[in-house]
Amino acid sequence: GAVVSQHPSWVICKSGTSVKIECRSLDFQATTMFWYRQFPKQSLMLMATSNEGSKATYEQGVEKDKFLINHASLTLSTLTVTSAHPEDSSFYICSAVRDRGWNTEAFFGQGTRLTVV
């Protein structure tokens, strides 16, 4: 079963509204989660690193005031796309890394397909 759950799986919203996406690690604690964005026929691009209890770290070119990240607990990170515009339409995926010392594996949420109309 899924170890990282992302919700919603798809959302359609009007231009100018805000959308919140949740990412939960189900059976392990994740002090760090990652948010990616994927445009059609392109690779996953890291947007930001979400750190539990502290501010997120954003990649160059990603507006922190537009993509609000909150990582309030060890199992939940949220990404809020504020004042969404059609160009924000994309596939957003979160990831959490389970590091067991001898093995590190990244698990992905199911992704959220955002369409802004």
Partner 1 sequence: RKEVEQDPGPFNVPEGATVAFNCTYSNSASQSFFWYRQDCRKEPKLLMSVYSSGNEDGRFTAQLNRASQYISLLIRDSKLSDSATYLCVVNAAGNKLTFGGGTRVLVKP
Binding site for partner 1 (CB under 8 A): 6, 32, 34, 36, 42-46, 49, 91, 93, 95, 97, 99, 103-111, 113
Residue (87 or 103) nearer to partner 1, CB? 103
Residue (28 or 82) nearer to partner 1, CB? 28
Q: How far is the CB of 108 from partner 1 (least distance, A)?
A: 4
Q: How far is the CB of 47 from partner 1 (least distance, A)?
A: 12
- State the pairing for strand pair 32-38/90-99: antiparallel
Residue (82 or 110) nearer to partner 1, CB? 110
- CA distances, 57 to each of 1, 21, 53 (Å): 29, 17, 12
CB-based contact 77:69 (threshold 8 Å): yes
Q: Classify residue 44 as exposed, middle or buried by CB count within 10 Å of its CB (0-12, 13-18, 19+).
A: middle
